[in-house]
């Protein structure tokens, strides 16, 4: 029977995925090893020999899990076969990190390794459509729909995967600094809501339009709940089937304690 491998990045996602699998092999780019999970390091400069090693181990499926930044490459470390891929990868990088990553994924599959999405091999991490806890009001649902519409437009610009909408107005949009920075911004500007006695606002998260859903799906966890609560929001909504939840029981516990709803939403935009 073939074995599955995790290409692990930083953060808590790789350990969560590993917990859903039976004896996976775990590898990580050198310098980006995950916390709390033992991983065999490899270098991008020796990508083709690494793919040979996967095949030698009987591995024909991999799942990418966790944050990986663009590594600094050593020109002298390339083996001859991987060096032949450099012009192709550099050309893709000119179109952005997403294009470069897709090219690397193509190289995996050209060498007989299938890229699996998290929902294929760890479905419990991505809850089905429905309200998980709390009760979003009609105003909250309208704010979530407005948020989904905003991300459908801005996502094509390769911005972030999150937005805060309150009373129909965009209060904060996720950009390079990330989700925590966006929610801190929303907390600082909560007073801009037109009616302080009306809807408090919704944090909504979804993949970017056209995103390769095998990698880099948005992630929510207990810290997201704490940050949304600190921002004074009514709850968190996300695109069902497009967002990974970590430590779901703890997320629910914190949301209920803070009076927030959690909603895995169907199509809104």
CATH 3.40.50.20, domain 3-121, yes or no: yes
Pick from 117-121, 127-131, 190-194, 210-214: least confident = 210-214
Residue 195 has pLDDT above 60, yes or no: yes
Residues spanned by CATH 3.40.50.20 within the chain? 3-121
Residue 211 has pLDDT above 90, yes or no: no
User: Cα separation of 91 and 108, whole Å?
Assistant: 18
Compute the average pLDDT of residues 65-76: 81
138-170 residue pLDDT tens: 999 999 999 999 999 987 787 889 999 999 999
Band (pLDDT 50/70/90 cuts) for residue 269 is low
Highest mean pLDDT: which range of 86-90, 132-136, 216-220: 132-136
The pair of structure tokens assigned to 149 is 């519409």
pLDDT computed for residue 176 by the predictor: 86
Residues spanned by CATH 3.40.140.80 within the chain? 126-265
Contact 79, 23 (CB under 8 A): no
More confident residue, 26 or 215: 26
Going by their DSSP bridges, the two strands 169-173 and 40-42 should be labelled as unpaired
Give domain 126-265's CATH superfamily: LpxI C-terminal catalytic domain (3.40.140.80)
Residue 233 has pLDDT above 70, yes or no: yes
pLDDT computed for residue 40 by the predictor: 94
**Exposed / middle / buried, residue 90 (Cβ in 10 Å: 0-12, 13-18, 19+):** exposed
């Amino acid at each position: 029977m073939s074995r599955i491998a995790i290409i692990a990045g930083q953060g808590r996602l790789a350990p969560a995925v590993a917990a859903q699998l039976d004896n996976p092999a775990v590898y990580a780019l050198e310098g980006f090893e995950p916390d709390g999970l033992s991983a065999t390091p490899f270098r991008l400069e020796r990508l083709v020999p690494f793919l040979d090693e996967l095949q030698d181990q009987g591995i024909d499926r991999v799942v990418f899990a966790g944050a990986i930044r663009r590594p600094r490459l050593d020109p002298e470390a390339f083996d001859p076969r991987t060096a032949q891929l450099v012009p192709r990868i550099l050309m893709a990088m000119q179109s952005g990190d997403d294009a470069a990553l897709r090219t690397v994924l193509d190289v995996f599959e050209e060498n007989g390794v299938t890229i699996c999405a998290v929902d294929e091999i760890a479905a419990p991490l991505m809850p089905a459509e429905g309200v998980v806890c709390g009760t979003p009001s009609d105003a909250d649902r309208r704010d979530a729909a407005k948020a989904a519409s905003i991300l459908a437009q801005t996502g094509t610009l390769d911005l972030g995967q999150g937005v805060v909408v309150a009373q129909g107005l965009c209060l904060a949009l996720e950009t390079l600094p990330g989700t925590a920075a966006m929610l801190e911004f929303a907390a600082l500007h909560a007073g801009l809501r037109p009616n302080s006695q009306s809807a408090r606002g919704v944090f909504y998260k979804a993949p970017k339009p056209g995103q390769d859903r095998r990698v880099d799906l948005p992630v929510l966890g207990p810290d997201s709940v704490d940050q949304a609560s600190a921002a004074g929001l009514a709850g968190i909504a996300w695109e069902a089937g497009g967002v990974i939840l970590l430590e779901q029981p703890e997320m629910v516990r914190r949301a209920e304690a803070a009076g927030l709803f959690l909603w895995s939403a169907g199509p809104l935009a």
